[in-house]
Amino acid sequence: MKSSPLAAAVLAGAVLGLAAVTGCSAPTTNAGSLAATPSATAPAGCPTAASLRLPKDFPASLPMPDGALVTSVERRSGERLVVAMVVRSGFDRTLAFLQKQLPEAGYTLREGEVEEDDAESNFSSATFDGRWTLRKTSDCGGGVYLTYLTAPAT
């Protein structure tokens, strides 16, 4: 039986999609340092439920973008806390917020990078170390996924 180019393209797309879904998820526990990226991928779809509450041990001084909808809270070893959220103000505005507001709140940004669809940076203060990641999404009407990973300063 002769295969068509369309069938081959569909099969290749399915294989790549499956590889992305199964091979890119972050482990739920990570015994390493803050160097691990909080979340390698963004969840599919746009959240419709109410925002989760921030845990009491989330740094009160860490700036939160207006309208951020907290979608998950995860505790990891070493008193690390991962808080994921959707921000509807878009990639550029959220990035500018992080780059301006964290230093104004007393956090030093370091070891960061900005690419077309994502950005990330480590940050620290006298009391907390952390990392934020920002990811564009095509399925949330201009919303972006922001993840904060925090831990007490060492």
pLDDT for residue 1 = 45
Please report, in tens digits, the pLDDT of each residue of the chain (154 residues total): 444 444 444 334 433 333 333 333 333 333 344 444 444 344 556 776 677 899 999 999 999 999 899 999 999 998 999 999 999 889 999 999 999 999 999 999 999 999 989 999 999 999 999 999 999 987 777 789 999 999 999 8
Backbone angles phi, psi at 113, to 5 degrees: -150, 150
Q: Do the beta carbons of residue 49 and residue 25 sit within 8 Å?
A: no
pTM over 0.85: no
Q: Strands of 69-76's sheet, edge to edge?
A: 69-76, 80-87, 144-152, 128-136, 118-124, 108-114
Q: What is the CA radius of gyration of the chain?
A: 18
